[in-house]
Amino acid sequence: MSEDYVRQVRKVLGGAATPEEAEALADLGAALAEFRGEGHGSDDEAVRAEFGTPQQYAARLREALAPADVDPGEPAPAQGRVLGVPVDLRGPRSAAVRARVWNPADPAVWAPRLFGAGWTLNLGALAVRLRLIRPDDADAEVLEQIPPCVLRLAAAAPAAVTALGVGGVVALAGPVCPPTYRPPGPSPGASNAAVARRRRSPPPACSGSAPRRGRFAPRPAKTAS
């Protein structure tokens, strides 16, 4: 019964699209098992009376986990402090924690680290100080006015810029790569006569000056004094 109920809720949600939804569905399975263990057995009516229909439960869950519930202007504070240093061991799993690194509404440039002890840069405050944006440029009301397709495009822009950058670096790095190494011996197709001719011919003359000493230039022969 509980598997059926969870399956129906999952179906109404259109699959567990986010980790939070997947976790909430796992919790629902455990909650139903606990409810059954309290003497309600597999009584469908009792389950529906306590949890609602799968459609109602899915609607409540969707409402509870809707992204709109996360206010980007109010990031979560650090988990705790040790000797005045903020410490957070949750990691950037929650949007409220991640919001610390982009919080234009908060003038403080330093925010508690997303994971570990110490501080990290609040890039939103930095952008405000550099006069790139205003503190209220990206609040919830403004975001609501932006069409979802534009937001998706904006979210994909960093990946596109990164791909262009990597492509550019590869294109620029190409010419400075060392040429293919050729061994000093005769090339496979050269005839013995051609090799002998090349060995006999003098090196190309330089323009009147002494040969420049490079890394691989031979040292001049020492003269006996």
Contacts for 150 with CB less than 8 Å, ≥ 6 apart: none
- Helix (H/G/I), strand (E/B), else coil: 208: coil
Alpha-carbon distance of 50 to 35, in angstroms, equals 9
Smallest distance, other proteins to C-beta of residue 159, A: 26
CA distances to 77, 103, 147 from 73, in Å: 12, 6, 20
Based on CB atoms, which residue is closest to other proteins, 4 or 63? 63
Alpha-carbon distance of 102 to 78, in angstroms, equals 15
Binding site for other proteins (CB under 8 A): 20, 23-24, 27-28, 30-31, 33-35, 37-38, 49-52, 56-57, 60-61, 63-65, 69-70, 76-80, 90, 94-97
Phi, psi of 110 (to 5 degrees): -100, 130
Q: Kindly state the helix (H) or strand (E) to which residue 62 belongs, with its residue range.
A: helix 54-64
Smallest distance, other proteins to C-beta of residue 6, A: 12
Based on CB atoms, which residue is closest to other proteins, 8 or 94? 94
Smallest distance, other proteins to C-beta of residue 57, A: 5
80-82/85-88 β-pairing: antiparallel
Smallest distance, other proteins to C-beta of residue 174, A: 47
Based on CB atoms, which residue is closest to other proteins, 69 or 137? 69
- Helix (H/G/I), strand (E/B), else coil: 78: coil
Q: Are 100 and 75 in contact (CB under 8 A)?
A: yes
Based on CB atoms, which residue is closest to other proteins, 77 or 135? 77
Based on CB atoms, which residue is closest to other proteins, 78 or 128? 78
Smallest distance, other proteins to C-beta of residue 81, A: 9
